[in-house]
Amino acid sequence: MRAIIQRVTAASCVVDGNTTGSIDNGFLVLLGIEDADTLEDLIWLSQKIINMRIFGDEDGMMNKSLSDVDGNILLISQFTLFAAVKKGNRPGFTRAARPEFAIPMYEEMIRQLSTQLDKNIQTGIFGADMKISLLNDGPVTIIIDTKNKE
């Protein structure tokens, strides 16, 4: 499982002209799921996201988490995070999980994040052509891969 976390002052997702999710202060999280992912990976990653201390404190140091700043999450499914680009110029996506596996994992990630943050999680629509807007704060962008936990 891979996640790109972007600290934002605003982010939104639009599908077919309709806003499906919108946040102010918080994280835009792009989430890629592969067949090798487990519930253990999902729980580990959700805890990392919730507890990531990348918001400034009173001294301007990155010491505060989402909970500390009453932040929100916009979670977007992003199979292209598993693009293979070693050969040729057209990416391959064989490592990305098929929808029958990825959708339940994505839905479980929404539940885990919502429970841990004690807030509704804003989302896109799995598999849709989404238009994402964001105002990156910092900019601060963190990449996490559950296969590199150690």
44 three-class SS: helix
**Average pLDDT along the chain, 150 residues, taken 10 residues at a time:** 98 98 98 96 97 95 96 96 86 88 97 97 96 96 91
- Give the global pTM: 0.94
Domain at 117, CATH number: 3.50.80.10
pLDDT of residue 145: 96
The DSSP annotation for 60-115 comes to S-EEE-TGGGT-EEEEEE-GGGG-B-SSSSS-B-TTBPPHHHHHHHHHHHHHHHHH
In a domain, 52, yes or no: yes
pLDDT of residue 115: 97
Minimal CA–CA distance to 67: which of 110, 22, 113?
A: 113
pLDDT of residue 87: 85
In a domain, 148, yes or no: no
pLDDT of residue 88: 83
In a domain, 98, yes or no: yes
In a domain, 84, yes or no: yes
In a domain, 150, yes or no: no
Q: Which residues of 34-56 are buried (b: 16+ CB within 10 A; e: fewer)?
A: beebeeebbeebbeebbebebbb
In a domain, 147, yes or no: no
In a domain, 47, yes or no: yes
pLDDT of residue 76: 98
Total domains in the fold of the chain:
1
Residue-number span of the structural domain to which 55 is assigned: 2-142
Residues classed as catalytic: 80
